[in-house]
Copies of this chain bind each other. A is one copy, B any other.
Amino acid sequence: MRIGILTAGGDCPGLNAVIRGAGRRLLREGHEPIGLRRGYRGLAHADHMTLDHPALSGLLPMGGTILSTSSYDPFRHDDGPQRVRDAMARKDVDAVIAIGGEHTMEITRELHAQLDLPVVGVPKTIDNDIVGTDRTFGFDTAVHVATEAIDRLHSTAQSHDRVMVVEVMGRNAGWIAVMAGIAGGADGILVPEVDVTVEELAANIRRRHDRGKDFSIIVVSEGARLAFADGSSRKVRASDDTDEYGYERLGGIGAALAKELEEATGYETRVVVLGHIQRGGTPTASDRILATRYGVAAADAVLDGAFGTMVALDGSEITRIPLSDVVGVKPVDLRLLELAKTFF
């Protein structure tokens, strides 16, 4: 069999480890893995890449994806579905392993349902918010990078008696904020799932000062809302804002929150937006292992003919779940947020 492997959506530490895992398993079983470049675009436009032993060598510690990625969706192009049908008719590939996030799993589900594409999904997001799996690769790396940054910011906060606001990734779910917040010893955490008012955060910060702690670290998800005691709240998104020259701005919720906290507490407040460094670079050992397990399991699922499924982690076990179950967003475990509050 010739099996196409593709990566779609935002890049994520561990993508190359999945490609290697699936590719090496397929080679070992006597099959031919090939790379489809730039997500489903590579399938639709027959943009292929050899995945032999040399091509699969050295990938484990490497960030990004050697297959490149895009958010190409065949259903959004008039000729997309037909191109996919043609690729299958031409026997470009006998099956596909699609590594991607929620949106990619949606496309994958429809390609399987509507076009009968023989496909297995691998869940990918640094946000850890894909339904049906306990953990996604890339998440541990993002938490690791964010925690290292918080460690570094602690000394600045402490030396200057400052409040530091750290904006981390997480548009729809607060996993990175909560986990990095616990690991970094945050004094306040703001996530998309739960509104916490500026007044509550400010009260915590003042309480710390009264106990002799002149500095505080607040971690906030990019998708969190700015809420106030009067019941008002709103999203603050960087992309909404441009300056007089039309320049896009960083500093959505993080910058807004810093401003409000400085006003509410009277303490000097600074903001750091971690941004893309959370999603690039070498994966942690833990993410390399999970990505390798997913890659090998996806190859096995293809060899078993278990199409229309996504590999997933359930406790310590790798399982397969129907793509039709992968719908919506997995919110952060609120018990972890409760745990974090022990230390506010």
Using CB atoms and an 8 Å cutoff, list the residues of chain A in contact with chain B: 7, 10-11, 13, 15, 21, 24-25, 28, 53, 57, 60-65, 68-70, 134, 140, 143-149, 151-156, 158-161, 164, 179-180, 182-185, 211, 213, 236, 238, 241, 243, 245-251, 255-256, 258-259, 270-277, 279-282, 284-286, 288-289, 292-293, 296, 314-316, 333, 339, 342-343
Instruction: From known contacts A140-B286, A147-B288, A316-B315, infer whether A156 and B296 are also in contact, taking CB-CB under 8 Å.
Output: no
Complex Cα distance, B282 from A144, in Å, reads: 12
Contacting residue for A24 out of B11, B281, B342, CB 8 A: B342
Top 6 A-B pairs, shortest CB-CB distance: A64-B155, A63-B155, A152-B281, A315-B315, A152-B280, A183-B285
Contacting residue for A277 out of B70, B149, B184, B236, CB 8 A: B149
Contacting residue for A182 out of B63, B143, B274, B288, CB 8 A: B288
Complex Cα distance, B241 from A160, in Å, reads: 24
Instruction: From known contacts A280-B155, A342-B296, infer whether A11 and B182 are also in contact, taking CB-CB under 8 Å.
Output: no
| 7 A-B pairs with C-beta separation under 8 A | A143-B285, A145-B152, A151-B281, A183-B292, A248-B258, A251-B251, A316-B333
Contacting residue for A153 out of B134, B277, B286, B292, CB 8 A: B277
Q: How far is the CB of A339 from chain B (nearest CB, A)?
A: 6
Contacting residue for A280 out of B153, B238, B255, CB 8 A: B153
Chain B positions within 8 Å of A184 at CB level: 60, 285
Chain B positions within 8 Å of A155 at CB level: 11, 13, 62-64, 280-281
Complex Cα distance, B214 from A47, in Å, reads: 16
Q: How far is the CB of A158 from chain B (nearest CB, A)?
A: 5
Q: How far is the CB of A111 from chain B (nearest CB, A)?
A: 22
Instruction: From known contacts A249-B255, A250-B255, infer whether A272 and B270 are also in contact, taking CB-CB under 8 Å.
Output: no
Contacting residue for A292 out of B28, B64, B272, B339, CB 8 A: B339
Complex Cα distance, B15 from A158, in Å, reads: 13
Complex Cα distance, B284 from A288, in Å, reads: 15
Instruction: From known contacts A53-B211, A179-B285, A179-B289, infer whether A61 and B151 are also in contact, taking CB-CB under 8 Å.
Output: yes
Verify A296–B339 contact, CB threshold 8 A: yes
Verify B276–A270 contact, CB threshold 8 A: yes
Verify A276–B281 contact, CB threshold 8 A: no
Verify B159–A276 contact, CB threshold 8 A: no
Complex Cα distance, B289 from A333, in Å, reads: 14
